[in-house]
Amino acid sequence: MTEMVPAWVEGRLMPVEKLEAHQRGLRHMAISVFVMAGEAVLIQRRAAGKYHTPGLWANTCCTHPRWGEETADCAVRRLREELGITGLVTVFADRVEYRADVGNGLIEHEVVDIFVAEAPSDLPVNPDPEEVWETRWVDLTDLAREVKEHPERFTPWLRIYLAEHMERIFGKLRVVQ
């Protein structure tokens, strides 16, 4: 089944096949979720079989809402599908837009609804191996430092979120100095 995502074509929001949206660099909707346990964030390393940015570390999860799907519902769905996480309350943090080359001739031009969820540090995580290579908890300050020191290990969008949108996503108390 072809996955249709909401994308802007000639100024109108329309359903477009996900790969086509990336091939054409169309501005399209996305979601990103950060699961937090205090100051620690759960990050994932993308599976080797992903069609872009395989093996790179990213935020807890991200995807594109299906045509007609609310972004909040998409965030909950994707936590379940990628990581087997259920029962968390996702809270809308902000909407950001970015454009990034993700390799193989693909461009992400995304309008992203970002959600944050609080969780216990012993949260059961059961990653789908088709989506996620591995996961780890890392202190947000340490993650920001690691991304600055080794940007090649991280997805373009995580680098952008941490470099340009820390306060908008995590609030004033979590801004890395």
Residue positions forming the annotated binding site for Mn(2+):
22, 28, 64, 108, 110
Residue of 3, 10, 110, 118 marked catalytic? 110
Binding residues: 22, 28, 64, 82, 108, 110
The conformation of residue 82, written as its DSSP 8-state character, comes to: H
> Is 62 designated active site?
yes
Would you state the structure tokens that stand for residue 101, as one six-digit string?
Answer: 């080359």
Binding residues for Mg(2+): 82
> Is 130 designated active site?
no
Residue of 39, 61, 62, 69 marked catalytic? 62
Q: Say if CB 50 and CB 56 are below 8 A apart.
A: no
DSSP states of 136-169: EEEEHHHHHHHHHH-GGGB-HHHHHHHHH-HHHH
Q: Say if CB 41 and CB 166 are below 8 A apart.
A: no
Give one word for 55, left, alpha or beta, with left for phi > 0 and alpha for psi -120 to 50: left
Which residues does the annotation mark as catalytic? 62, 110
